[in-house]
Structures are given as structure tokens and as C-alpha cells.
């Protein structure tokens, strides 16, 4: 019942395509106000007015909004038209070369084609053109591998610079990459959400991150409440997102939350990669219904979709059918029957239009000639249509609006809430909107708070990690229980420190590990420094792994590289082999080892007392073949050694101090505090390198 009510509550007034206003600069606002949905900014204004009347303050109190009531809503912003022409995208693929055709292909290779003996060029998109307007939903359709997602990525500027040929313009002006990032949003196919946050909290964190700090927190809350109503998520607002181990919202609601995160700032352009994938028919319909409402509020919505149902087809305004990177149909869904009828394959009355089109395209793709005949027919059919509509002009052309004027009008109507101002006097539209709504320190604070909130609500995860730490600490404490100051105890200390440093933990877990092992093992020195160096080791190690995650493309490859490099770090740390014995051509690895500095720091913390003795008299024979002989014989050997050396050595004579142990281990370069700061600096360096790796090789762009 709740789903039926939600679906009915999502009904909207007549879509924009049913309104045919006369686009005159003085009359466009009056004509459009009667036939479109309000923007999110206008909804926010209405919500704010209602709440002030009811509560007398800014306390968020939910009131049901009647979206179809536009009598008190300001007119929509002026129209936008996104045009793309001759979009072409090619990639190089490896070519299998056999011995039989080696010389034939080598001789026939064309240097100007970009093909070589071992690679060939594959065209993914081939001369794709079209346009999308605000208030409408454009759907890119086709079979798997037809280029749907690639076209969406190309329009959203998620391809590597220079790899896409063609032009993309908004209201006739070329779109700059920086401007497109601000005025657009991209919803990926997978829902990447924090499972223990509620729907309302998830959208609130998005508002704090993407809306400018000049907007008060109460206004951000009002915007979130208006967005929840627009997405049809009121019944699920207080429900956690959920995951495999925690029950939460449904798949369709989860998808709408993902959409809400990206439209929190009310963008002009919205790109979606198969938003209905994996959803049942009802959930898919509700998602597209929400997209229709977003479009009617003044956004251009472009999405890829595999095979829409009959109901979803009725919500679409424009369609582009692709087959192996070529356009086989572009236009409104209502023209599909006429198009295929003229092609000689009329669509039966009782059959889904898109299913028939996809089946026909697949059939043609399997034929010897492929879809070449359909592609050529589409070109001639479009040329005939353009000839019959020579006097028609796009809204942007009739209004003679510049991109700067259109964006300014949208901002003044409450759209594109990103810190932009409609009164900016700059000539370039790019300078009207900031690249980022908030400074980096606010973004980091919001992300940290979100991560902490999600983790705090998963005590079982923290409990498992704490249990693992306590078990590890207990095992080490019992194995190295109360080590003495004998040569054997010194050697066991070195092994304990090597293991403790390469098993680091986060802050609280580092403190628990330090408290479990410090006194049980019988360590000396400062407990506080011991805790600090263990945590610093975690910081440097996690930063290193984070950096590798930014440069390694595959998870399994990343695991292999991390394990190998950490093993090399331990090998060259000075524990297995002293620095003086490392070959000169490998000494550089010793100085970049992340284990070297924390290992040397804990050794200095343990053996820095100059008066503490670790080897006395006959203990010099321990860990040698003479260690098993009786003490009386050891004393005679010691006396003989004293006579030979010309110095008196008794059983109480201190032979080895902490300073001697540090010298034996080759630890004489840096103080323990210097080692600590070097370890911390390694962590910051790898974080900076990780940031640079994201800037240089962003994963959001294809090559």
C-alpha cells in the first residue's frame, strides 16, 4: 500500500512537451510558469514559508507539498539546450599476430591510420549528434556494447582529454571543463552509500559538503526536506540505507538517494548511467518518474537505459538508439512507429516499441550487411525532417540568450545552489560559479564526521578489531613475558619490536596494544613514546597503502604489490641485516624503508639509559656454545680472559650497555624523536602523492 501511495504522490502536472509557449523575452516567464514544475529552490522557499507560519521559528517540521500547485511559484529559469555534434571516440586494441600473416600485415599497415602491426583502432562512437533540452528526459538506448555508457561519459566530460572528437555546447557556447563540473551531476550505476546512515542523514551530509557555507544550516535542512519530498522518500527518511548485514531501504529507494546526493545543489545538467539497472518494474518506474520531476524543474536529464517498460517509455521525451557506436534512431518515442514503418518494418500494435526496435537491431547486427542500411536510412530520414522544419528554431536561439545570461537567470530563480551569484559582472560564465562550494578544511571535516558516524553505529566491527588487537597483545605478552636484561632477553626484545612495528593499529587500538604489551613484556623507556611510535607507524603504513590504491588499477594486483613492498621494507629495516652490511647498491632501500625509522625509535626508547647494564661477567658466554658449561668453568674462563686482556673482569662487571646494543644494531644516525617525525612525515608525503595521483590519473575518466 505504501508503494502505491508513494507512486501516486509522485504524479506531476502535464510535462513540458505538452506546453507550447511563444518564446518571447518579455513573455517567456509568464508562459512557462503555468506548465512546469517548480525548481528545488522554489520548493525550498515555499517550505520555509509554511514552516515559519506553523512553528514560528526555523524548526524543521514536515508539511506535505502539492507540487502541482504553481500559482504561488516564481517562473522557471530561462531554457537551456545541450547540443553535441559529430561525437567520435576510438580506442586502440591489441591485435593477434600469427606467423603466417606477419609479413602481410606488416606490409599493409597504414602509418596514417594509427594502426600498427600489434594494435588496431576500434571505433566506439561514430559521428553521434543530437540535442537535449531542459524540462526533458533524453534516453540513450541500445544493446550491450552499443556505446550507451561511453556516450554518457563523453557528454559528461569523463573521458581523457583529447580522446573524444566533436563539439559539445550549451546554448550555442562551447562548454569548458571547469564550468561543466559545477553545473552538472553524474549518477553512477552502482549505489555507493554508507549503510548505517539514514536517508535524511545521507542527504544532510551531502548538503553540508556541496552547498556553500554562506547558506545557514537551517536553510540546508529545509533544502534536504524539500528534496526528500521531491524524491518521494518521506516514508523512508528515518530508515538506514542498510547493506548485506543490516536491513534498510529498498533498491529503488537506494537509487533515489544516490540521485538526491548528486542533485542537492540543483544542477542544470544531470547524467545517469543506467539508473534502472537491477530494479523491478515498479521501482524503475518510480525512479524515472522522479527524473521527470527533476527535468520539469528546469534540468536537462540524460540517461542510458537498456530496455524500458511501456510505462517508462511514456515518461521519456527524446531517445537515441545506438548500434555498435552509430545512431540508428534519434527523436521522440512517438515517432518510432512512423520511423520503422517507413523503413519497411512496421511495429505491431500489441508490441512494446523499444523491444521491437532492439530485436530488429540485434537481427540486423547479425546479418552480413549489419545495421548499415538502418544507419543510412536514419540519416536520410533526419535530413527530410530538417527540410520540413527549416523555420523552427531552438528556444535559446529565439531568445538570443548567452550562456552567461541563462545561468544568471537560473541562479536568480533559486537553481544551481553552489555559491554562485547572479549579479557577477564577469564576461565569462565560468567565473560566475566557484569551482568548489566550500574550502577543503570544511570538506574534510564533513567527510570525517560522516565516516565516524557510520563507524560508530557498527560496534561489532570495532569489537572484532579490538578483539584481534587484544588477542595479538595477549599472545605477545605471554610469549615475551617479563624479559630480563640478559643477552637472550636483548635478542628477544629485538624480535618483539620488529613484530610490533609491522602490526600497527589505529589510535584507540594502538593505545590498547601498547597498554597490553608494555608492562607485560617488561619494557623500559617511555610508555607514551612507545604508544606514539606504534600509532605513527600505522599512519605511515596506511598512507602508503592509500597511495598505492590511487595508482594500482586492480585490487588483487594491489594486494600483491603491498605484501611484496612491505616485505622489502622489513628486510632492509636493519633487523635481519645491519645497515653496515647492506650492499652499497641496496642502501637506498634502507633509507626509504617505512619500518626502519619506527624500529630504530623503539630500540632507542628501550636502550637509551646509559647506566643500565644488559650483559655482566659470565653472561658474555650466553648464546654461544660455551653457554651450557657450568658456571664454575665460566668463571675460570673469565679469569683467563681477564689475564689475556690485562683488565679485571668479574661476574659483576658490566660488559654491554644499552648504548653498545644500539651501536651493534647500527642505530646511530637519528634520535628517537627525529625517527618519530620522519615516520609522520612519510605519512604526509604519501598522502600528498595520493592526491597528486588522483589529479594526474583520475579514475573518473576513461583513456
Three-state helix/strand/coil letters over 273-308: ECCCCCCCHHHHHHHHHHHHHHHHCCCEEEEECCCC
CB 141, CB 321: distance < 8 Å: yes
Contacts of 642 (CB under 8 A, 6+ apart): 648, 649
Report the pLDDT averaged over residues 147-159.
Answer: 90
Which residues on neighbouring strands pair with residue 122, listed in sequence order? 91
| Predicted pLDDT of residue 687 | 92
Domain ranges of the chain: 81-96+126-330+360-404+435-441, 458-696
Do residues 379 and 126 make contact, with C-beta atoms less than 8 angstroms apart? no
- Percentage of the residues of the chain whose pLDDT score is greater than 70: 76
In this predicted structure, the answer to whether residue 643 has a pLDDT above a threshold of 50 is: yes
Distance separating alpha carbons of residues 463 and 473, to the nearest angstrom: 15
Please check the confidence at residue 202 and state whether its pLDDT lies above 90: yes
Give the Cα separation of 536 and 534 in Å (integer): 6
pLDDT computed for residue 426 by the predictor: 52
Contact 310, 350 (CB under 8 A): no
Q: Are 290 and 7 in contact (CB under 8 A)?
A: no
State residue 48's pLDDT score.
44
- Tell me which of 455 and 105 has the higher pLDDT: 455
Q: How many CA atoms lie within 13 A of 470 on its CB side?
A: 7
In whole angstroms, give the CA distance from residue 354 to residue 466. 55
Q: Which three cell numbers stand for residue 492?
A: 628477544
Predicted confidence band of residue 13 (pLDDT cuts 50, 70, 90): very low
Q: Which residue has the higher pLDDT, 491 or 534?
A: 534
Average pLDDT, the chain: 78
Cβ-based neighbour number of residue 645 at 10 Å: 9
Which residue from 124, 15, 130, 116 is spatially nearest to 81, judged by alpha carbons? Answer: 130
Report the candidate in 325, 320, 321, 256 with the shortest Cα–Cα distance to residue 286: 256
What span, in angstroms and rounded, lies between the C-alpha atoms of 505 and 675?
A: 19
User: If pLDDT is split at 50, 70 and 90, which confidence band does 114 have?
Assistant: low
- Rounded to whole angstroms, how far apart are CA atoms 523 and 544? 29
pLDDT at position 14, please?
A: 39
Range list of β-strands (E), 62-135:
81-94, 119-133
Q: Would you place residue 65 in the very low, low, confident or very high pLDDT band (cuts 50, 70, 90)?
A: very low
Lay out the sheet containing 119-133: strands in order across. Answer: 119-133, 81-94, 164-170, 173-174
Burial of residue 300 (number of CB atoms within 10 Å: 0-12, 13-18, 19+): buried
The H-or-E segment that residue 637 falls in is helix 631-645
pLDDT of 100 higher than 80: no
pLDDT of residue 5: 41
The length of the chain in residues reads: 703
CB contact at 8 A, 210 and 436: no
Q: How far apart are CA 656 and CA 409, in angstroms?
A: 82
Name the class of domain 81-96+126-330+360-404+435-441: alpha beta
Q: What are phi and psi of 292, to 5 degrees?
A: -65, -40
Measure the CA–CA gap between 310 and 248, rounded to whole angstroms: 29
Name the strand (E) or helix (H) holding 102: helix 102-108
- Quote the CA–CA distance of 651 and 445 in Å, as a whole number: 61
Q: pTM of this prediction?
A: 0.70
User: Closest by alpha carbon to 487, among 636, 585, 337, 616?
Assistant: 616
Give Cα 487 distance to the centre of its chain: 52
Least confident segment among 88-97, 262-271, 323-332, 668-677: 88-97
Residue 580 has pLDDT above 70, yes or no: yes
How far apart are alpha carbons 681 and 594 in whole angstroms? 11
Q: Which residue has the higher pLDDT, 645 or 68?
A: 645
The pLDDT confidence band at residue 315, using thresholds 50, 70 and 90, is very high
Q: So what's the pLDDT on residue 132?
A: 92
Cα-based distances in Å from 417 to 201, 208, 220, 445: 19, 12, 11, 21
Q: How confident is the model at residue 559 (pLDDT cuts 50, 70, 90)?
A: confident
**pLDDT band with cut points at 50, 70 and 90 for residue 56:** very low
Using one digit for the tens of pLDDT, what is the confidence trace for 433-448?
666 778 888 888 998 8
- Pairing relation of β-strands 164-170 and 173-174? antiparallel
Between helix 459-479 and helix 507-521 the angle, nearest 10°, is 20
Looking at residue 520, what DSSP letter applies?
H
Q: What residues does 81 pair with on adjacent strands?
A: 133
CB atoms within 10 A of CB 502: 19
List residues bridging with 170 in a β-sheet: 82, 173
CA–CA dist 541, 105 (Å, integer) = 50
Which of 57-66, 265-274, 622-631 is least confident? 57-66
For the chain, the straight-line distance linking the first and the last C-alpha, in angstroms and rounded, comes to 47
Strands of the sheet with 326-331, listed across from one edge: 184-187, 269-273, 300-304, 137-142, 318-323, 326-331
* Each residue's pLDDT tens digit, 154-177: 999 888 766 789 989 888 888 888
Bridge partners of 320, per DSSP, are 140, 330
In this predicted structure, what is the pLDDT of residue 554? 83
- Cβ contact 143:361 at 8 Å: yes
Stretch (H or E) spanning 613: strand 613-616
User: Given a cut of 90, is residue 317 above it in pLDDT?
Assistant: yes
Nearest to 464 by CA among 654, 234, 245: 245
646 phi-psi bin (left φ>0, alpha ψ -120 to 50, beta other)? left
Lowest mean pLDDT segment, chosen from 18-27, 193-202, 404-413: 18-27
The whole-angstrom distance between residue 383's C-alpha and the CA centroid of its chain comes to 42
* CA dist., res. 114 & res. 120, Å (int): 8
Q: Compute φ and ψ for 207, nearest 5 degrees.
A: -65, -45
Across the range 541-556, mean pLDDT stands at: 88
Strands (E), 173-282: 173-174, 184-187, 269-273
> 683, 407, 438, 403: which is closest to 539 by C-alpha?
683
Could you tell me the three cell numbers for 238?
528515518
Residue 101 — very low, low, confident or very high, per pLDDT cuts 50/70/90?
A: low
The closest alpha carbon to 270, from 290, 299, 297, belongs to 299
Amino acid at each position: 500500500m505504501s508503494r502505491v501511495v508513494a507512486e501516486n504522490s509522485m504524479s506531476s502536472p502535464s510535462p513540458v512537451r505538452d506546453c507550447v509557449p511563444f518564446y518571447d523575452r518579455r513573455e517567456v516567464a509568464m508562459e512557462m510558469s503555468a506548465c512546469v514544475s517548480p525548481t528545488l529552490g522554489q520548493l525550498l522557499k515555499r517550505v520555509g514559508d509554511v514552516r515559519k507560519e506553523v512553528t514560528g521559528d526555523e524548526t524543521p517540521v514536515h508539511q506535505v507539498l502539492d507540487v502541482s500547485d504553481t500559482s504561488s511559484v516564481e517562473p522557471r529559469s530561462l531554457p537551456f539546450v545541450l547540443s553535441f555534434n559529430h561525437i567520435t571516440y576510438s580506442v586502440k586494441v591489441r591485435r593477434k599476430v600469427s606467423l603466417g600473416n606477419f609479413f602481410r600485415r606488416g606490409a599493409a599497415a597504414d602509418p596514417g591510420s594509427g594502426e600498427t602491426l600489434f594494435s588496431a583502432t576500434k571505433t566506439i562512437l561514430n559521428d553521434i549528434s543530437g540535442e537535449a533540452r531542459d524540462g526533458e528526459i533524453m534516453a540513450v538506448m541500445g544493446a550491450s556494447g552499443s556505446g550507451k555508457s561511453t556516450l554518457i561519459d563523453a557528454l559528461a566530460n569523463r573521458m581523457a582529454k583529447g580522446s573524444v572528437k566533436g563539439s559539445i555546447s550549451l546554448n550555442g557556447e562551447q562548454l569548458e571543463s571547469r564550468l561543466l563540473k559545477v553545473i552538472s551531476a553524474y549518477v553512477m550505476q552502482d549505489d555507493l552509500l554508507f549503510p548505517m546512515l539514514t536517508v535524511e542523514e545521507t542527504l544532510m551530509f551531502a548538503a553540508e559538503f556541496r552547498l556553500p557555507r554562506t547558506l545557514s544550516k537551517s536553510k540546508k535542512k529545509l533544502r534536504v526536506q524539500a528534496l526528500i519530498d521531491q524524491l518521494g522518500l518521506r516514508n523512508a527518511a528515518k530508515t538506514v540505507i542498510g547493506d548485506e548485514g543490516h536491513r534498510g531501504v529498498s533498491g529503488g529507494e537506494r537509487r533515489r538517494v544516490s540521485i538526491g546526493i548528486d542533485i542537492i545543489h540543483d544542477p542544470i545538467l544531470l547524467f545517469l548511467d543506467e539508473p534502472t539497472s537491477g530494479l523491478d518494474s515498479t521501482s524503475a518506474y518510480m525512479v524515472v518518474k522522479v527524473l521527470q520531476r527533476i527535468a520539469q524543474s528546469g534540468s536537462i536529464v540524460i540517461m542510458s537505459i537498456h530496455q524500458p517498460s511501456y510505462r517508462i517509455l511514456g515518461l521519456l521525451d527524446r531517445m537515441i538508439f545506438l548500434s555498435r557506436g552509430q545512431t540508428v534512431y534519434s527523436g521522440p518515442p512517438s515517432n518510432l512507429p512512423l520511423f520503422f514503418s517507413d523503413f519497411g518494418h512496421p511495429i505491431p500494435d500489441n508490441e512494446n516499441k523499444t523491444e521491437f526496435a532492439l530485436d530488429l537491431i540485434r537481427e540486423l547486427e547479425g546479418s552480413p550487411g549489419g545495421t548499415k542500411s538502418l544507419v543510412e536510412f536514419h540519416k536520410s530520414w533526419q535530413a527530410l525532417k530538417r527540410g520540413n522544419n527549416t523555420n523552427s528554431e531552438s528556444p535559446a536561439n529565439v531568445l538570443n540568450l548567452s550562456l552567461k545570461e541563462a545561468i544568471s537567470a537560473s541562479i536568480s530563480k533559486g537553481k544551481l545552489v553552489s555559491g554562485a551569484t547572479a549579479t557577477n559582472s564577469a564576461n565569462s560564465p565560468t567565473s560566475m560559479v566557484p569551482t568548489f562550494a566550500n574550502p577543503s578544511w570544511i570538506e574534510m571535516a564533513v567527510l570525517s564526521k560522516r565516516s565516524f558516524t557510520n563507524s560508530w553505529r557498527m560496534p561489532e566491527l570495532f569489537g572484532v578489531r579490538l578483539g584481534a588487537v587484544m588477542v595479538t597483545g595477549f599472545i605477545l605478552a605471554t610469549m615475551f613475558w617479563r624479559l630480563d636484561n640478559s643477552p637472550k632477553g636483548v635478542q628477544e626484545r629485538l624480535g618483539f619490536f620488529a613484530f610490533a612495528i609491522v602490526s600497527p593499529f589505529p589510535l584507540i587500538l594502538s593505545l590498547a596494544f601498547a597498554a597490553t604489551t608494555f608492562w607485560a613484556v617488561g619494557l623500559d623507556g617511555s610508555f607514551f613514546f612507545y604508544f606514539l611510535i606504534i600509532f605513527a607507524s600505522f599512519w605511515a603504513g596506511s598512507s602508503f597503502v592509500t597511495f598505492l590504491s590511487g595508482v594500482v588499477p586492480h585490487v588483487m594486483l594491489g594486494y600483491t604489490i603491498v605484501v611484496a613492498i612491505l616485505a622489502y621494507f622489513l628486510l632492509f629495516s636493519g633487523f635481519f641485516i645491519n645497515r653496515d652490511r647492506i650492499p652499497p647498491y641496496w642502501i637506498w632501500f634502507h633509507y626509504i624503508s617505512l619500518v626502519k625509522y619506527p624500529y630504530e625509535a623503539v630500540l632507542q626508547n628501550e636502550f637509551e639509559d646509559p647506566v643500565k647494564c644488559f650483559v655482566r661477567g659470565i653472561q658474555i658466554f650466553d648464546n654461544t656454545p660455551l653457554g651450557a658449561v657450568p658456571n664454575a668453568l665460566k668463571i675460570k674462563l673469565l679469569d683467563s680472559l681477564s689475564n689475556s686482556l690485562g683488565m679485571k673482569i668479574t661476574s659483576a662487571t658490566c660488559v654491554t650497555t644499552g648504548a653498545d646494543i644500539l651501536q651493534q644494531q647500527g642505530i646511530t644516525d637519528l634520535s628517537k624523536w627525529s625517527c618519530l617525525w620522519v615516520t609522520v612525515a612519510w605519512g604526509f608525503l604519501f598522502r600528498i602523492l595520493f592526491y597528486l595521483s588522483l589529479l594526474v590519473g583520475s579514475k573518473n575518466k576513461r583513456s
